[in-house]
Amino acid sequence: MKTSYLFIPTILGISVQSSNLQQPVPAGLGDHDIQVYPQELGLEASAAQGVKLLDSIIKSSPLLSFHRSIVQIPSISDDEKTVGDFILDFLSAHNFTTEKQLVSPDTKDHDERFNIYAYTGEKRHVDILLTSHIDTVPPYIPYSLHAPTKPTTSPYKFNRTDLLIAGRGTVDAKASVAAMIFALIETLEEDQNPTASLGLLLTVGEENSGAGMKFFSNSDLNPTPPIFRTVIFGEPTDLNLVAGHKGTFGFKVTAHGKAAHSGYPWLGTSAISSLLPVLSVLDGLEDRSPEEGGLLRGEKLGQSTLNIGVVRGGVAGNVVPAFAEAGVKIRLAAGTVEDTRGIIERAVEEGKGKVKAGNGIGDDDAGIELSFDRGSLPQFFDTDVDGFEVITVNYGTDAFSLRIGEGGHRVRRYLYGPGSIHVAHADDEAITVGEIEEAVRGFKRLISATL
Q: Does 173 help bind Zn ion (rule: CB under 5 A)? A: yes
Q: Which residue's CB is nearer to Zn ion, number 171 or number 285? A: 171
Size of the site for Zn ion (CB under 5 A): 3
Q: Does 177 help bind Zn ion (rule: CB under 5 A)? A: no
Stretch that binds Zn ion, among 24-32, 102-110, 167-175, 197-205 (CB under 5 A): 167-175
Catalytic residue among 80, 206, 235, 429: 206
Q: What is the C-alpha separation between 96 and 118, in angstroms, rounded?
A: 6
In the region spanning residues 185 to 204, those forming contacts with Zn ion, defined by CB under 5 A, are none
Q: What is the C-alpha separation between 65 and 37, in angstroms, rounded?
A: 25
Q: Which residue's CB is nearer to Zn ion, number 406 or number 427? A: 427
Cα dist. 321→84, 311, 312, 353, 399 in Å? 49, 13, 11, 20, 42
Q: Which residue's CB is nearer to Zn ion, number 18 or number 131? A: 131
Cβ 394 to Zn ion, closest distance in Å?
Answer: 13
Cα dist. 48→51, 55, 68, 151, 344 in Å? 5, 10, 18, 20, 59
With 0-12 / 13-18 / 19 or more C-beta atoms within 10 angstroms meaning exposed / middle / buried, residue 70 is: buried
* Residue 376 amino acid letter: S
Cβ 218 to Zn ion, closest distance in Å?
Answer: 21
Q: Which residue's CB is nearer to Zn ion, number 235 or number 435? A: 235
Cβ 420 to Zn ion, closest distance in Å?
Answer: 12
Stretch that binds Zn ion, among 173-181, 191-199, 309-317, 345-353 (CB under 5 A): 173-181
Q: CB neighbours (10 Å) of residue 196? A: 16
Sign of CA pseudo-dihedral 18, 21, 27, 29? negative
Q: What is the C-alpha separation between 399 and 407, in angstroms, rounded?
A: 19
Cβ 418 to Zn ion, closest distance in Å?
Answer: 12
Cβ 71 to Zn ion, closest distance in Å?
Answer: 14
Q: Which residue's CB is nearer to Zn ion, number 257 or number 418? A: 418
Cβ 145 to Zn ion, closest distance in Å?
Answer: 22
**Residue 269: beta bridge partners?**
258
DSSP state of 160: G
Cβ 224 to Zn ion, closest distance in Å?
Answer: 27
Stretch that binds Zn ion, among 155-163, 235-243, 317-325, 327-335 (CB under 5 A): 235-243
Q: Which residue's CB is nearer to Zn ion, number 172 or number 437? A: 172
Q: What is the C-alpha separation between 344 and 276, in angstroms, rounded?
A: 15
Q: Does 179 help bind Zn ion (rule: CB under 5 A)? A: no
Stretch that binds Zn ion, among 27-35, 164-172, 196-204, 266-274 (CB under 5 A): 164-172
Chain Cα centroid distance, residue 280: 31
Sign of CA pseudo-dihedral 207, 417, 177, 231? negative
DSSP state of 363: T
Q: Which residue's CB is nearer to Zn ion, number 215 or number 251? A: 215
Stretch that binds Zn ion, among 85-93, 95-103, 171-179, 286-294 (CB under 5 A): 171-179
Cβ 421 to Zn ion, closest distance in Å?
Answer: 8
Tell me if 169 sits within 8 A of 136, measured CB to CB.
Answer: yes
**Residue 158: beta bridge partners?**
34
Q: Which residue's CB is nearer to Zn ion, number 217 or number 448? A: 217
Ramachandran quadrant class, 381 (left: phi over 0; alpha: psi -120 to 50; beta: rest): beta
Q: What is the C-alpha separation between 295 and 262, in angstroms, rounded?
A: 37
Cβ 133 to Zn ion, closest distance in Å?
Answer: 6
- Residues in Cβ contact with 99 at an 8 Å cutoff, skipping those fewer than 6 apart: 116, 117, 118
Q: Which residue's CB is nearer to Zn ion, number 279 or number 424? A: 424
Stretch that binds Zn ion, among 46-54, 227-235, 334-342, 406-414 (CB under 5 A): 227-235
Cα dist. 338→29, 330, 332, 372 in Å? 56, 13, 11, 10
Q: Does the annotation count 206 as an active-site position?
A: yes
In the region spanning residues 359 to 388, those forming contacts with Zn ion, defined by CB under 5 A, are none
The single residue among 172, 398, 429, 435 that binds Zn ion, judged by CB under 5 A, is: 172
**Residue 121: beta bridge partners?**
none
Q: What is the C-alpha separation between 368 and 351, in angstroms, rounded?
A: 10
Q: What is the set of active-site residues? A: 206
List residues near Zn ion by CB under 5 A.
Answer: 172-173, 235
